[in-house]
Amino acid sequence: MATRTCTTFSSLLLLLFLFSAANFAPVTSSDHTYEYLLSSQPFFHTTVEKQSHFRFYWHDILSGPNPTAVTVAEAPGTNTSSTFFGLVAVIDDALTVGPDANSKVVGRAQGLYASAGLKNVGLLMLENFVLTDGKYNGSTISIMGHNPIFSAEREMPIVGGSGLFRFARGYVQLRTYWFDTKSLDAVVEYNVYVNHY
């Protein structure tokens, strides 16, 4: 009787061990179709997700001796297009706490925008907000989306981040604060709603 109880108990322990191992082992491809997939396992955060709301002023300067946005490509018909279709610019725009150019700089918007609308002015925006102030120094928020620049309010998605914003998601709301029709310089208010851990 004692031997049978011990065997049953051993079998039960073995099953429990196998079940536990199956739940915690990385899932890999058995047919090696995806040899580049090293592991795939459930992901659990040790901290609670929170949403932070930031407000930045984005200074896009095309004029003067030190522009922060420069054209790097144009299509053959860009100059005759009413929407500047095909224009691509690279940016390194200051992000400040207030709309004034002399306001405290807390980061840079680095990336590019392209005029992607044939009939309506709309920019494809790809930019990283590279923060430089305080505990956020070195962290980034990545934004990619459609920006119909003549709309009063616009919205673009946050597609990722780094540093304190790893696994970031969310959205930004934009509103033009100031725009010069001759130089095309602009100041845009960005309200950034970012979910992160």
pLDDT (mean) for 54-80: 97
User: Would you tell me how many other CB atoms lie within 10 Å of the CB of residue 19?
Assistant: 9
Conformation bin of residue 90: beta by default, left when phi > 0, alpha when psi is -120 to 50: beta
Give the pLDDT of residue 164.
96
* Higher pLDDT pick, 86 / 41: 86
Range of the domain at 175: 50-196
Beta pairing partners, 97: none
Q: What is the pLDDT of residue 10?
A: 53
- Residue 83 counted as domain residue: yes
Tell me the C-alpha distance between 54 and 192, whole Å. Answer: 5
Mean pLDDT highest for which of 5-9, 47-51, 165-169? 165-169
Is residue 186 a contact partner of residue 178, using CB atoms and an 8 Å limit?
yes
Q: Which two tokens stand for residue 124?
A: 């494809």
What predicted TM-score, i.e. pTM, was given to this entire model? 0.79
Q: Is 43 among the domain residues?
A: no
Distances (CA, A) of 194 to 4, 6, 115, 129, 141: 60, 56, 26, 12, 8
Residue 39 within any structural domain of the chain: no
Q: What percent of the chain has pLDDT over 70?
A: 83
- Quickly state the pLDDT bin for 17 (edges 50, 70, 90): very low
Total number of domains constituting the chain? 1
Nearest by Cα to 188 from 88, 113, 83: 113
Here the CATH number for the domain that contains residue 56 is 2.40.480.10
What confidence tens digit (pLDDT) does each residue in 109-127 have?
Answer: 999 999 999 999 999 999 9
Place of tokens 């405290």: 104
| Pairing state between β 50-60 and 69-73 | unpaired
Task: Give the Cα separation of 185 and 190 in Å (integer).
Answer: 16
Assess if residue 36 is contained within a domain: no
Q: What pLDDT score was predicted for residue 155?
A: 98
pLDDT in tens, 119-153: 999 999 999 999 999 999 999 999 999 999 999 99
Q: Is residue 22 part of a domain?
A: no
Instruction: Reply yes or no on whether the pLDDT at 25 is more than 90.
Output: no
Asked if residue 19 is part of any domain, the answer here is no
Q: Is 4 a member of any domain? A: no
C-alpha pair distances (Å), 185 with each of 17, 48, 119, 133: 66, 40, 22, 25
Alpha-carbon distance of 23 to 27, in angstroms, equals 9
Check whether 46 has a pLDDT greater than 90.
no
